[in-house]
Amino acid sequence: MDTQDTEKTKNTRGTKAAMTNSRMYQLGSEPSAIRALYAYGLARKAEIGEDRVFDFSLGNPNIPAPAAVNQAIADLLEMPSGAVHGYTPGQGAPGVRRAVAGSLNRRFGMEAAAENIYMTVGAAASLTISLAALAEPGDEFIVVTPAFPEYRVWVEQAGGTCIEVAARAGDFQLDNAAIGAALTDKTRGIIINSPNNPTGAVYPKEALAGLARALAAHQEKCGRTVTIISDEPYREIVYGKTEVPFIPALYDNTIVCYSYSKSLSLPGERIGYIYVCERMPDAQEVYTAVCGAGRALGFVCAPSLFQHVIERCVDEVPDIAAYAENRAALTAGLSRLGYEFVEPEGAFYLWVRALEPDAEAFAERAKSHELLLVPSTSFGCEGWVRIGYCVGRQTIEGAMPAFEALMGEYRAGGA
């Protein structure tokens, strides 16, 4: 579209009934702040050189996909085309759904079957399908802030209302008392994301058991079942001895939204799944609604080649040594310079306190040092920035003088 076309579109929208859905138009006109920063980074790199821009904006894994994944792709390409590239059933091929269920049973002691698994194009689709499957107009979904920005878009698209509840100040763990206070007779679900984007926090078993008790007490009191939607694309990315409790083992009314984007470094291939916990009293009805939502949204038959890859690689785990080294280098470097941050237990993000209350102003100031940091306003709170450390080690090392200069500028009392 050239400039003239853009002007024409603007004029059309300004003078007569628009020919598009206004909400969609608005969403399309305002790309996410993270994407906008990433686009800025690309342009800036072209202008001044790759190695002079320190781009920590995007959660694009930089470690390679496991060798077994590449081998599976190569093997599959030797097979007859129709067997690999043909349509599968809408909810996914039975073989991969059985393989995923079997893996969950082995790893987490569940009794899942293929009938509990729906293959998707990544966590984004897992979430949009699950929300659409659950929501009646006006239903409330709690999200814990800071939160992945697209949650609000997806909840609202499903006809729901997004209720933000702040994580605990300081460590960004769950605040079960605040969540309990936010429950109403309209609450349909709560999105839990652990390991967390953007804070790197992992919720321990006691906190999740406390949440389960609060939801059960609410159900007892007002007869309303609240579903946990567990968004867990970072489940396999944890450091040291940190364990990620499996929520369906603690709370029956859980839908898991999984993705291989981060765990197998396959974000562009778009593959993941929904797991409707078989212990849910209405599991069959919910799974049927998931199939219906997939149909209504056009999210049927996830990429066939990658369904087959997952069937063969279902128990593959990532080698996160490079993330662990980045995390160590970044946290050591920033604490030496006097920055405050949340020690990340999982994912590949560092949540750093901005050097002024206005996170956007701070991120702008960082930009003038070629540091691309995502302001916390994108995630629904003030005063912090997110550093994505799924980058080459040289980016972290190269960025340290810029972080030092930024700190120096604030210590000196402003630019």
Using the rule CB under 6 A, is 264 a contact of ligand PLP? no
For the CB of residue 337, give the shortest distance to ligand PLP in the complex, in Å: 27
For the CB of residue 259, give the shortest distance to ligand PLP in the complex, in Å: 3
Report the residue from 146, 149, 210, 233 that binds ligand PLP according to the rule CB under 6 A.
Answer: 233
Per DSSP, the residues of 24-82 read HHHHHHS--HHHHHHHHHHHHHHHH-GGG-EE-------SPPPHHHHHHHHHHHTS-HH
Q: Which amino acid is at 205?
A: K
Using the rule CB under 6 A, is 261 a contact of ligand PLP? yes
**How many residues of this chain interact with ligand PLP, rule: CB under 6 A?**
13
Using the rule CB under 6 A, is 318 a contact of ligand PLP? no
Using the rule CB under 6 A, is 230 a contact of ligand PLP? no
Using the rule CB under 6 A, is 148 a contact of ligand PLP? yes
Using the rule CB under 6 A, is 267 a contact of ligand PLP? yes
Report the residue from 130, 194, 259, 307 that binds ligand PLP according to the rule CB under 6 A.
Answer: 259
Using the rule CB under 6 A, is 380 a contact of ligand PLP? no
In order of 8, 15, 246, 366, the CA distances from 2 in angstroms are 10, 20, 50, 33
In order of 203, 212, 362, 387, the CA distances from 350 in angstroms are 16, 28, 16, 5
Beta bridge partners of 120: 272
Residue, CB closest to ligand PLP = 122
138: number of Cβ within 10 Å: 10
In order of 76, 87, 94, 101, 325, the CA distances from 114 in angstroms are 22, 18, 6, 6, 38
Using the rule CB under 6 A, is 376 a contact of ligand PLP? no
Separation CA 185–CA 316 (nearest Å): 42
Using the rule CB under 6 A, is 122 a contact of ligand PLP? yes
Stretch that binds ligand PLP, among 73-81, 118-126, 373-381, 384-392 (CB under 6 A): 118-126
For the CB of residue 219, give the shortest distance to ligand PLP in the complex, in Å: 26
| Interaction pattern, residues 196-225, with ligand PLP; x per rule: CB under 6 A | -x----------------------------
DSSP 376: G
**b/e for 308-334, b at 16 or more Cβ within 10 A?**
bbbbbbbebebebebbeebbeebbebb
For the CB of residue 124, give the shortest distance to ligand PLP in the complex, in Å: 3
Nearer to ligand PLP, 151 or 239 (CB): 151
Separation CA 384–CA 393 (nearest Å): 23
H or E element in which residue 288 lies: helix 283-297
Using the rule CB under 6 A, is 101 a contact of ligand PLP? no
Chain-centre distance of CA 276, in angstroms? 19
Using the rule CB under 6 A, is 346 a contact of ligand PLP? no
153: number of Cβ within 10 Å: 15
For the CB of residue 57, give the shortest distance to ligand PLP in the complex, in Å: 12
Using the rule CB under 6 A, is 193 a contact of ligand PLP? yes
For the CB of residue 11, give the shortest distance to ligand PLP in the complex, in Å: 36
Using the rule CB under 6 A, is 263 a contact of ligand PLP? no
Stretch that binds ligand PLP, among 74-82, 122-130, 208-216, 388-396 (CB under 6 A): 122-130
Q: Measured at the alpha carbon of residue 250, what is the angle toward residues 180 and 261, in degrees to the nearest 5?
A: 95
Using the rule CB under 6 A, is 231 a contact of ligand PLP? yes
Separation CA 224–CA 213 (nearest Å): 14
For the CB of residue 27, give the shortest distance to ligand PLP in the complex, in Å: 16
Nearer to ligand PLP, 222 or 317 (CB): 317
Which residue intervals of 136-204 are DSSP H helices?
A: 150-157, 176-182
| Interaction pattern, residues 269-308, with ligand PLP; x per rule: CB under 6 A | ---x------------------------------------
215: number of Cβ within 10 Å: 24
3-state secondary structure of 117: strand
Nearer to ligand PLP, 193 or 304 (CB): 193
Separation CA 59–CA 387 (nearest Å): 9
Using the rule CB under 6 A, is 59 a contact of ligand PLP? yes
Question: What are the residues binding ligand PLP (CB under 6 A)?
Answer: 59, 122-124, 148, 193, 197, 231, 233, 259, 261, 267, 272
